[in-house]
């Protein structure tokens, strides 16, 4: 692994001097508290399953939207939603105990700032994540024991098909999922634009870029830039509309296709945002090989994801749970920096730098194509037919010694 440059601003480095020790101290204090109250803490962990289920049910019924114009009683909400009044009241009362809702002396319920995140039109809405979790993920969680025995994702064992096939078979489920992912990307955009440097790029290709929210924002920020969005054919029309609304349609081409089979040529740099973590090592390698087949030596690849297994920026506990989500629903994983480096090297890239953002699961890995162009896996690629790859290391022991800053 070549020396990895960690691009951190002076402000971020100074902040890390305070936050990293503070997080370490907080963890130690939490462990002490948990030890003394460990029975209650573990009890709560089991009950969190119930809290998540009730939060999903309230979001599914659209109750936060009904409370947007003011407090209402459980009777009023039950009448509007066709729910059993007693059941609904007890769920709302419980959620009020978790600060999702507020209950006044008259028994009326209203939204708290936390509960406002369940509004369908909130700019930071998590309603669509809640719907995806409750409708698609929650039913699969009891199959985790089968996954421990077989290694097959619990989602696939529960629903009888892979996540992407499951979503494609139901237009409404796919709409909810696409909306959820779009809102996440929109939340990430400001943090990415604050640190990303695309000034030297002429044409940027966003591979698997969804409806184009990130690429549209990049084109707006850089008037000299041209864009290419490569996505599934069923997303193409929505992406073109997004670029028209952003006023950048004349500078962006939208192409439908499958990045597991090929990637369009012709761009100066390529971008993969939260794509590789959806795939096992062989699938991620196939995607990277397709990108490598489309570029010349010296061209740049930007990978926007989080990583696990290091302590460069403090506690990565959130990323570890993201890794479990990927494991239960998809064949993917959250990777360490050494695992990224190993995959990139196999595909013909050199990992050069990492630029963190203010969001824990959003960092920009920058890689350069090296050596001779590689042959793409081609349209015959299929995950069931890929050759076995050696297991990548789970830890990143060499990263700390290889880190540089500028």
- Contacts for 262 with CB less than 8 Å, ≥ 6 apart: 290, 293, 294, 376, 378, 379
Q: 307 burial class (0-12, 13-18, 19+ CB within 10 angstroms)? A: buried
Helix, strand, or coil (residue 31): helix
- Rg (Cα) of the chain, in Å, rounded? 23
Q: How, if at all, do strands 349-356 and 300-305 pair?
A: unpaired
- C-alpha distances (whole Å) from 312 to each of 8, 233, 340, 354, 373 are 11, 39, 16, 11, 33
Neighbouring residues of 278: CB distance < 8 A, sequence distance ≥ 6: 326, 330, 332
Active site residues: 277
Q: In what order do the strands lie in the sheet with 4-6?
A: 252-256, 226-231, 203-207, 269-273, 300-305, 363-369, 349-356, 4-6, 403-405
Would you put residue 348 in left (φ > 0), alpha (ψ -120 to 50) or beta? left
Write a three-state SS string for 287-325. Answer: HHHHHHHHCCCCCEEEEEECCCCCCCCCCCHHHHHHHHH
How many other CB atoms sit within 10 Å of the CB of residue 73? 17
Displacement of CA 123 from its chain's centroid (Å): 17
Whether the Cβ atoms of residue 342 and residue 405 lie closer than 8 Å to each other: no
Contact 160, 105 (CB under 8 A): no
Q: DSSP state, 203? A: E
- Between CA 39 and CA 112 the distance in angstroms is 29
């Amino acid at each position: 692994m070549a020396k990895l440059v960690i691009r951190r601003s002076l402000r971020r480095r100074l902040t890390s001097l305070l936050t990293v020790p503070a997080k370490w101290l907080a963890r130690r204090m939490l462990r002490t508290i948990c030890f003394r109250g460990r029975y209650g803490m573990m009890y709560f962990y089991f009950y969190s399953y119930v809290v998540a289920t009730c939060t999903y049910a309230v979001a599914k019924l659209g109750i936060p939207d009904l409370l947007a114009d003011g407090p209402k009683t459980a009777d009023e909400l039950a009448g509007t939603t066709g729910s059993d009044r007693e059941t609904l009241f007890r769920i709302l009362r419980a959620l009020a105990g978790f600060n999702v809702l507020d209950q006044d002396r008259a028994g009326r319920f209203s939204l708290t700032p936390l509960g406002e995140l369940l509004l369908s039109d909130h700019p930071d809405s998590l309603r669509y994540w809640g719907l995806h979790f409750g409708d698609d993920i929650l039913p699969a969680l009891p199959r985790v024991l089968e996954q421990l025995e077989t290694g097959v994702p619990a989602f696939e064992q529960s629903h009888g098909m892979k996540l992407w096939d499951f979503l494609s078979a139901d237009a409404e489920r796919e709409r909810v999922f696409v909306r959820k992912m779009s809102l996440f990307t929109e939340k990430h955009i400001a943090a990415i634009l604050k640190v990303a440097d695309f000034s030297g790029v002429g044409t940027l290709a966003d591979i698997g870029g969804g409806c184009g929210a990130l690429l549209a924002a990049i084109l707006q920020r850089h008037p000299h830039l041209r864009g290419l969005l490569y996505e599934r054919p069923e997303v193409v029309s929505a992406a073109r509309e997004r670029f028209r609304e952003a006023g950048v349609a004349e500078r962006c081409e939208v192409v439908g296709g499958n990045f597991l089979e090929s990637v369009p040529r012709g761009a100066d740099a390529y971008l993969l945002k939260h794509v590789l973590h959806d795939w096992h090592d062989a699938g991620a390698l196939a995607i990277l090989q397709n990108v490598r087949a489309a570029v010349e030596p010296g061209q740049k690849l930007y990978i926007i994801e989080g990583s696990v297994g290091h302590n460069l920026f403090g506690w990565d506990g959130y990323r570890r749970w993201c890794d479990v989500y990927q494991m239960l629903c998809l064949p993917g994983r959250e990777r360490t920096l050494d695992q990224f480096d190993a995959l990139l090297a196999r595909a013909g890239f050199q990992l050069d730098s990492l630029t963190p953002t203010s969001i824990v699961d959003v960092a920009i890995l920058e890689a350069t194509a090296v050596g001779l162009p590689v042959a793409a896996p081609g349209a015959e690629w299929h995950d069931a037919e890929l050759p076995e790859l050696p297991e990548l290391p789970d830890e990143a022991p060499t990263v700390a010694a290889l880190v540089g800053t500028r």
